Amino acid sequence: MAFVDVALSEYGIRGRTTNVSRVSVMTGLSRRDVARMRRRIAAVGPDELTVRSKAPDVLHFWQIDPDFLTTDGRARDIPFDGDGMTFRELVRRYAGDLPPGALLKELRRVGAITELSSELLRLEKSYFIPEAHEERLLLSLQRSVRGLLSTLAHNCNIERDTPGRIERIVYSESLTSDQIDLLRARLRARIELFTRELDSEFASLEREGNMRVSGAEGTEIVGVGVFYVEGDD
């Protein structure tokens, strides 16, 4: 859909929309498939195609925007719709025109949000991990692999005028299978706790900085990545 959408909108001659035949040649799809995809794009619209990419932002800002926090700085339970601070308003601020119902359905499906008996929505997870393999790969490339390579490049740059960035690895080549099973379970619990603590600390610093989040301008991305390795020699 993305290829067809770009081919239709960006490769027309003299500013006109590309026709089906030209898109068929460019993409390798049949004219029938191009026409079908064009109808799907028109029906779905761009917003629903970005449900997953906007989901982390909504969860993140739910924990930071003062309008959606309790007096002790926790994410408030909020209604889906109505007056005041609602899930619909949260989505409007931080996910543009994304359909709130579509996003809510996805976040509930992955357990990031639960609906209470009082019809309020409660934030259960501060992170969003898509289940589709392709999406997980893209997310890893964007946030994990790129971040690690950036740190390695920085540390290997002999001409840099700033301190090196923290980059550590701990490993063993002599554990038994039973020990690895035990270690894997222990590390999962400790890393999940550690990353939740970091997420809370980041959120606290953003709140202290009084970054009125929808219009805030930060300096650059700052983050910490933790991953587990097994089976590689």
- 227 belongs to a structural domain: no
Say if residue 49's pLDDT is above 50: no
Residue with tokens 């308003």: 89
- pLDDT for residue 15: 64
pLDDT the model gives residue 111: 84
Question: In this structure, are 88 and 71 located in the same domain?
Answer: yes
CATH classification at residue 62: 1.10.10
The beta strand positions in 24-171, using DSSP E, are 78-79, 113-115, 120-123
pLDDT digits (tens, 9 = 90+) for 213-228: 444 455 677 888 888 8
Assess contact for 52 and 105: CB atoms under 8 A. Answer: no
pLDDT, position 134: 57
Residue 189 structural domain: 133-215
Count of the separate structural domains present in the chain: 3
Whole-number mean pLDDT of the chain?
A: 80
CA 9/CA 60 separation, integer angstroms: 32
Tens digit of pLDDT for each residue in 106-157?
A: 888 878 899 998 889 999 887 666 555 556 666 667 677 888 888 999 999 9
- Whether residue 47 is predicted with pLDDT greater than 50 in this model: the reply is no
Q: Which residues pair with 122 in a beta bridge?
A: 114
11, 29, 48 — which closes off a domain?
48
The verdict on 22 and 76 lying in the same domain is no
Q: Is residue 82 one of the residues assigned to a domain?
A: yes
